């Protein structure tokens, strides 16, 4: 019998390079030059797909058009990346991250619904 979540463990290790660290993910992405911003966004897009599979975030098409979701996914990826890259070993903080996932899912759902309704 495999431990819970074992089905994504090899995938998580294989995609570890997709998770941006805090210095790449969050600060000043709006001020990047167009070419740098495109590279940053491509990395974020791959990271978001990985996080969506790993944590069942329920991302909807068009998440990339909402700046709040973009920032949220960049920050979440940086947070997860700190653990996965072993830069931060803190079981309590990892538990807090996992307990925050329902709020992340809910915010993503509300923002995508708002986006679809044109609000």
Residue 64: C-alpha distances to residues 39, 46, 67, 88, 91 (Å)? 14, 12, 7, 28, 31
| Residue-wise pLDDT tens digits, 33-80 | 888 888 889 989 998 999 999 889 888 888 888 888 888 888 888 888
pLDDT for the residue 89? 74
User: Which tokens go with 52?
Assistant: 């969506």
Q: Using CB atoms within 10 A of its CB, is residue 53 exposed (0-12), middle (13-18) or buried (19+)? A: middle
Nearest to 54 by CA among 82, 32, 84, 31: 84
For the CA atoms of the chain, what is the radius of gyration? 15
Give the global pTM: 0.69
Confidence label for 115 from pLDDT (cuts 50, 70 and 90): low
**How far is CA 83 from its chain centroid?**
13
């Amino acid at each position: 019998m495999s431990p819970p979540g074992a089905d994504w463990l090899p995938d998580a290790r294989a995609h570890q390079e997709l998770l941006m660290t805090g210095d790449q993910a969050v600060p000043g992405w709006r001020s990047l030059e167009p070419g740098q911003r495109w590279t940053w966004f491509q990395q974020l897009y791959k990271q978001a797909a990985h996080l969506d599979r790993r944590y069942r975030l329920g991302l909807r098409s068009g998440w990339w058009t909402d700046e709040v979701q973009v920032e949220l996914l960049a920050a979440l990826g940086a947070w997860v990346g700190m653990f996965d890259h072993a830069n931060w070993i803190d079981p309590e903080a990892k538990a807090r991250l996992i307990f925050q996932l329902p709020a992340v899912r809910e915010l993503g759902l509300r923002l995508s619904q708002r986006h679809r309704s044109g609000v």
